[in-house]
Amino acid sequence: MLPWLLIMPSLVLAFGVIGYPFYEIIRLSVSDVSRFGQLRGFVGFANFVTIATDPIFVAALVRTLVWTIAVVGGTILLSIPVALVLNQDFAGRGLARIIVMLPWSIALSMAAIVWMWAFNADYGMINATLRQWGIIGQSVQWLARPETAFPVEIGIGIVVSIPFTTTIVLGGLSSVPGEIYEAARIDGARPWQSFLHMTLPMLGPFLNIAIVLNVIHVFSSFPIIWVMTQGGPDNSTHILVTYLYELSFYLGRPGPAAAVSLVMLVIVFGATALYMRLRAKDGI
Q: What is the closest distance, in whole angstroms, from the C-beta atom of residue 47 to other proteins in the complex? A: 15
124 three-class SS: coil
Give me the least distance between CB of 79 and other proteins, in Å please.
28
Residue ranges binding other proteins (CB under 8 A):
34-38, 109, 113, 116, 121-122, 138-139, 141-146, 227, 229-230, 232-236, 246, 248-252
- Minimum distance between the CB of residue 123 and other proteins, rounded to whole angstroms? 9
Can you name the residues that pair with 33 across neighbouring β-strands?
39
Of 34 and 132, the one with the shorter C-beta distance to other proteins is 34
User: How many other CB atoms are there within 10 angstroms of residue 149's CB atom?
Assistant: 21
In the complex, the smallest distance separating the C-beta of residue 281 from other proteins, rounded to whole angstroms, is 44
- Closest approach of Cβ 137 to other proteins, in Å? 13
Which residue's CB is nearer to other proteins, number 71 or number 246?
246
Residue 206's identity, in one-letter code, is F
- The b-or-e profile of 49-58 (16+ CB within 10 A means b, else e) is ebbeeeebbe
**Residue nearer to other proteins on the CB measure, 56 or 159:** 56
3-state helix, strand, coil in the chain (%, to 5): 75, 0, 25
Cα–Cα distance for residue pair 254/47, rounded to 1 Å: 10
* 162 closest CA partner among 77, 93, 67, 75: 75
How many Cα neighbours within 13 Å face the side chain of 7? 6
- Cross-strand partners of 31: 42
Nearer CB in complex with other proteins: 45/250: 250
Of 38 and 129, CB closest to other proteins: 38
- Residue whose CB is less far from other proteins, 86 or 154: 154
To other proteins, the closest distance from the beta carbon of 261 in angstroms equals 15
CB-CB neighbours of 203 under 10 Å: 23
